[in-house]
Structures are given as structure tokens and as C-alpha cells.
Amino acid sequence: MSATAVVPRQASLTVPEPAAAPARARAGRAVWFSRLIRILSVVVAIGVWQFLTSQHIRLWVRFDTLPTATQIVLAFRHQLATDTYYLDLGQSLVRILTGFGLAAVLGVSSGVALGRSRWFADILGPLTELARPIPAIAIVPVAILLFPDDEAGIVFITFLAAYFPVMVATRHAVRALPTIWEESVRTQGGTRWDVLWRVVLPGSLPGVFSGLSVGIGVAWICVVSAEMISGRLGVGYRTWQAYTIVDYPGVFVGIITIGVLGYTTSAAVELLGRRVTHWLPRGQETAK
């Protein structure tokens, strides 16, 4: 009996390690294949756009009124050679980073407070729920009246757009934490601050970064809209100006710039989230 019991245990300890190398090779090939598919999807989309616009195709939409991909590329090359393009780029980035930074700080702190404090939830909870459904872009007239200059108003709109996704995601993440985590800290003599720093903040990080990822995207939508309405500089302002002077390739230069900026900042937030929450167990992820 004892001899037969020892054999399976020894067999389980002698798993051949070289089997991990082919698995890593397959994972690497899968990553590169996924990247190739993503690049090809963009190339095919550009090719389809070029065909539809250059051949003046009219289906249920009118592609004959839109610029071709080559015209947009030429307009992009022209814009890249001007100082105005980089000035607008820098202005929009300053606005988005300022507004989003404020939303991240206040959204996380108020979300934790709403999730942890009954008193705080009773006082500010109804106000946030009443204000949350209002589109941030609808506050533009109020921002114009509130702030002495357009710059502060645009930053305020950007902050407001990003604040609610961050706050709501943080609040739900805090409320979803298992109570046994807090009880285990308290049974060891931990204080409220110990629970906050050792349980609440680390445990809610995945939800927090989920809200930050959504918030940065919404912030871009609203900062561009605000620039179109009341801005004097910025990518959104320049895109709308190109439309008013019937520079349709310039319009698409602005659209593509906004898309690239939004993708880059969102990817940066998600990368930071993966680095901060590296201790979490993860499944097989597709590299971005």
C-alpha cells in the first residue's frame, strides 16, 4: 500500500520542463498573428475607402462627396509641416490632461467616500445621481457664464465628462469588495485607515482603472465638442474651422488626429492599470 502510494507522487513531480518552450513559442506566434490581422484590417479599410471615394460610389450614402484617402494623406503631410498643427495638438493635450487629472483625483476620492461612508452617500449621493445623466456638453452655456475665459470652461467640461465614469466605477468597486477582507484586518487590530490602505484601495484598483479608461474616452469626446463651440485653439476648433471653409480633407485630418490621440491616451491608461495591478491573476490576454 505504501509503495503504490509513493509512485504517483514521484511521477507528478517529474513533469518535463521543456514542454513549456513550445507553449511559449505558440503564444508568441499567436501574438504576432493577432497584430498582423489588426494591421491588415486597417489597410483593408483604407483601401475600401479609397475605392469608394475615387470611383464616386453612391449607395445609400454618398461617397462621391468625401475626400479620397490620398487627398487626406496629402492634407496630413501639409498639416504636419505647419506650426499651427502642433500648437493645436499641445493645447488639446493640456486641456485633456488637466481635466482628466482633476477627474481622476476627485473621482477616485469621492467614489471611495460614497462607497464607504453612509453619511457621505446620503448627502452627496442624490446630487451626483441627478447630475450624472446630464451630458457634459450641455453644460457649455453654464461654463461660459461661470468662468471668465474659455480655457477654464473647456477644462471644466472635460473634468465633468471624465468625473462621473471614474466616480461610479470606483464606488461600485468599493461596494463589491468582500466583507471578509475588512473583517480579517480588523480582527488583527487594524484601524479604519489600515482597512482603507490595505483592503479598499488595492482591492478596488481594477474597477478604478476601468473607470479611468472609460473616462479618458468620454473626456476626448467632450473636449473636442467644447473646442468646436467655444474654443480658439485645439484640434476640435481646427476641425470645425476646416469644415466652415469647405476643407474636407482638413476635416478628416482632425478626425484622424482625434482618434490617434484618444487611442494613445486610453492605451496609456490601460497599460498603467496593468502595471499597477500586476499582482492580479490573469487569463490569456491578447497583446495590444
pLDDT at 6: 45
Contact 157, 136 (CB under 8 A): yes
Q: What cell was used for 50?
A: 479609397
Would you call 24 exposed, middle or buried from its count of C-beta atoms within 10 A (0-12, 13-18, 19+)?
A: exposed
Question: Tens digit of pLDDT per residue, the chain (288 long)?
Answer: 444 444 444 444 444 455 566 777 777 777 788 888 989 998 999 999 899 888 888 888 888 888 999 999 999 999 999 999 999 999 999 999 999 999 999 999 999 999 888 898 889 889 989 988 988 888 888 888 888 888 888 999 999 999 999 999 999 999 888 888 777 877 877 777 778 888 888 888 889 999 999 999 999 998 888 888 876 788 999 999 999 998 999 999 999 999 999 999 999 999 998 888 877 765 544 444
CA distance 256 to 250: 10
pLDDT at 189: 75
Contact 223, 265 (CB under 8 A): no
CA distance 111 to 108: 5
pLDDT at 9: 46
Would you list the domain boundaries of the chain? 16-66, 67-276
Contact 101, 155 (CB under 8 A): no
Q: Which CATH superfamily is domain 67-276 in?
A: MetI-like (1.10.3720.10)
**What is the model's pTM?**
0.79
What lies within 8 Å, CB to CB, of 103 at 6+ separation is 158, 159, 160, 161, 162, 163, 166, 215, 219
pLDDT at 7: 44
CA distance 262 to 72: 19
CA dihedral 53, 59, 61, 62 (to 10 degrees): 40
